[in-house]
């Protein structure tokens, strides 16, 4: 009887350990640890010029590891239920990491928009605050 009880206890402990390993592995897959993060993405509205502009605030490590010698791609999205709609973009930031987008039509006038730099590989995406479009 003593040997059977010990075997059952061993199997129970093994099952508990296996369950905790599987649970920790599945939670690790859902949360991704990014190595490089930008500090901020600023946004400002110039209503007279009908444009928005901002700056990607990041250290040189983020800049070189995520964008190399290229320019960060800033996307402008309109807040809406479901998936936010892409309404503009600036594919080229200048040497001071500034960006700007002009609006010509009235489709987004007064709508809530924000800027984002998409993430990829080890680089985390960064998003600005929400503002009203000019």
Per-block mean pLDDT, blocks of 10 residues, the chain (134 long): 61 48 44 78 92 88 78 88 90 81 87 90 90 91
Q: Where are the domains of the chain?
A: 1-31, 40-132
The whole-number pLDDT of residue 11 equals 53
- Range 40-132 classified under CATH 2.60.40.10: yes
Euclidean distance between CA atoms 117 and 34, whole angstroms:
15
The whole-number pLDDT of residue 24 equals 42
The whole-number pLDDT of residue 10 equals 60
Dihedral sign, Cα of residue 45, residue 46, residue 52, residue 54: negative
Specify the residue for token string 């444009």.
51
Specify the residue for token string 């649970």.
23
């Amino acid at each position: 009887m003593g040997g059977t009880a010990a075997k059952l206890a061993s199997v129970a402990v093994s099952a508990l350990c296996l369950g905790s390993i599987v649970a920790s592995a599945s939670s690790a897959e859902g949360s991704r640890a990014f190595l490089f993060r930008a500090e901020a993405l600023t946004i400002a509205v110039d209503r007279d010029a009908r444009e928005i502009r901002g700056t990607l605030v990041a250290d040189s490590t983020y800049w070189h590891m995520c964008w190399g010698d290229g320019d960060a791609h800033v996307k402008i999205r309109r807040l809406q239920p479901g998936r936010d709609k892409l309404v503009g973009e600036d594919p080229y930031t200048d040497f001071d990491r500034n960006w700007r987008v002009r609006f010509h039509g009235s489709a987004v006038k007064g709508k809530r928009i924000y800027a984002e730099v998409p993430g990829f590989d080890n680089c985390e995406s960064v998003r600005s605050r929400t503002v009203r479009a000019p």
